[in-house]
Amino acid sequence: MFETLVRGVGGRCAGEAVTVTGAGVELADAVDGGGRESRVPRLPGFAQWPPRGSAKHRGKALRAGVPRASHRALVLDDTRPDAVAAVEESNAGRIPELTPIRVGRMTASPFAFLRGSAGLMAYDLARTPVTGIGTQICGDAHAANFGLYGDARGGLVIDLNDFDETVHGPWEWDLKRLAASLVLAGREAGADEDTCRAAARDTVGAYRRTMRLLARLPALDAWNAIADEELVSHTDAHDLIGTLERVATKARANTSGRFAARSTEETRDGGRRFVDAPPVLRRVPDAEAGVVAGSLEPYLSTLGPDRLPLLARYAVQDVAFRVVGTGSVGTRSYVVLLLDHRGEPLVLQVKEARPSALTEHLAGAGFLAPPAGHEGRRVVLGQKRMQVVSDILLGWTTVGRRPFQVRQFRNRKGSVDPAALAADQVDDYGRMTGALLARAHSHGVDPRLIAGYCGKNEELDDAVADFAVTYADRTEADHARLVAAVRSGLIAAETGV
């Protein structure tokens, strides 16, 4: 059976104000559940006792203003950006010579187009119903943004693994993006329409049931709940076990050492340096390498002090530029090679952090844009909030005047390609990712609130499944528009990279 894959979480509630004097806390008179007066500390950041009202009932009450059936709505008017114009706008600020690679990757399929168009979908989602319940969202929770990665003890977990767009926003946006992506992945995998819709519906159902499960658990149990085979059992995704085991086997071999063995050569002093492999990997001029390597010094201050003795055992060897995945192609991304005293490698990725593509659309849903600040910090803190286990070397820095995030490269990462699954596995994968998304969301909001809104029946499942099919159709039309623009020479694309 595959390694531990996911661990559950819960939520927390803000408490009332407290007067702090020196190292002490002023005690306030309170009335306990039996009506007796007592003197207890009332601390900010903690819930009050006895609880006031029910989070579940508050969530349920939201249905009056935002019926669950309303989530099938998708309003596309004449003001919607043209798909090609949206792609060109999202290319702004990227390295110009790399944007044709990004466009080429987006033309590969409608699912690939969705992967690269988080901003366009955010525009559309801002015109759909929202409950007003906010949490930390991924912002790009499509089906390919879940994967395996290594924890500090050598085990594997499966979770969301891309947080470039993360913000505090509507939970519905992540769920709808995930559901729509399952329809597109299913179509690409050759599944029929009933199966694709069922995959979207099952994704929502698993999200809803998992949120209800977390809401019923004691808070600490929900926060620390471990699910490996239990997750598969809970989501009835047994057909995925073999696939996950194969991915896990590959992930265990996907390490810094293996990457360094393929991408570096030995130097005269016994060290190593990168070898050009254009257009994906290229060495950079000494001055640029020096600036990137120098950025690791302020990066250290973003880590916990307990990590510093570990990094002090590595020496920086070389820096190279490396092209990254579909949505991030054209952003600045470097790999930094470090060696320990035995010559064993550690590779860090220093990746540019751009503003979230969702930022300008949050106001339309009644949410505040992220406060101005370091975009790398936004990504890192959002990732740590949503994941069960995060990279122990996750941090941020500035290269030149641009914000970057820093993380381990190839720390036993592996992923399932949802578009390459057997048709009868797509709904299993949807159920698993739906459960993982619920767990991730419950880190930022009391799960009882969302569970109360979602309820026991399948009304929300059906509504979001309808939305997902409609949005998949829209994405196919957008993809066709981009392909036509490439063929006519309106926008440049480089395929096969």
pLDDT digits (tens, 9 = 90+) for 354-375: 999 999 999 999 999 988 899 9
Cα–Cα nearest to 144, from 161, 125, 128, 130: 161
pTM recorded for the entire structure? 0.90
2-10 average pLDDT score: 33
Rg (CA), the chain: 24
Question: 319 and 52 in contact (C-beta within 8 Å)?
Answer: no
Non-local (6+) Cβ contacts of 34 within 8 A are none
* Residue 412 burial (CB count, 10 A): 23
Cα–Cα nearest to 293, from 330, 319, 320, 322: 319
Measure the CA dihedral 390/436/167/297, to 10°. Answer: 10
pLDDT digits (tens, 9 = 90+) for 291-321: 999 999 999 999 999 999 999 999 999 999 9
Residue identified by tokens 């096969």 is 496
Alpha helices in 339-405 (DSSP H): 375-386
Largest CA distance in the chain: 79
3-state SS assignment for residue 452? helix
pLDDT digits (tens, 9 = 90+) for 278-289: 989 999 999 999
pLDDT digits (tens, 9 = 90+) for 418-470: 999 999 899 999 999 999 999 999 999 999 999 999 999 999 999 999 999 99
Q: CA 147 to CA 200: how far, in whole Å?
A: 19
Phi and psi, residue 285, nearest 5°: -60, 155
Which H or E run includes 188? helix 171-189
Q: CA 115 to CA 146: how far, in whole Å?
A: 12
Q: CA 417 to CA 338: how far, in whole Å?
A: 31
Residue identified by tokens 């390919």 is 144
* Residue 352 burial (CB count, 10 A): 22
Phi and psi, residue 169, nearest 5°: -160, -165
Instruction: Assign 2 a pLDDT band (cuts: 50, 70, 90).
Output: very low
Question: 101 and 495 in contact (C-beta within 8 Å)?
Answer: no
Residue 497 has pLDDT above 80, yes or no: no
Instruction: Assign 18 a pLDDT band (cuts: 50, 70, 90).
Output: very low
DSSP 241-284: HHHHHHHHHHHHT-SHHHHHHHHEEE-TTS-EEE--BTTTEEE-
Across the chain, mean pLDDT equals 88
Q: CA 69 to CA 67: how far, in whole Å?
A: 5
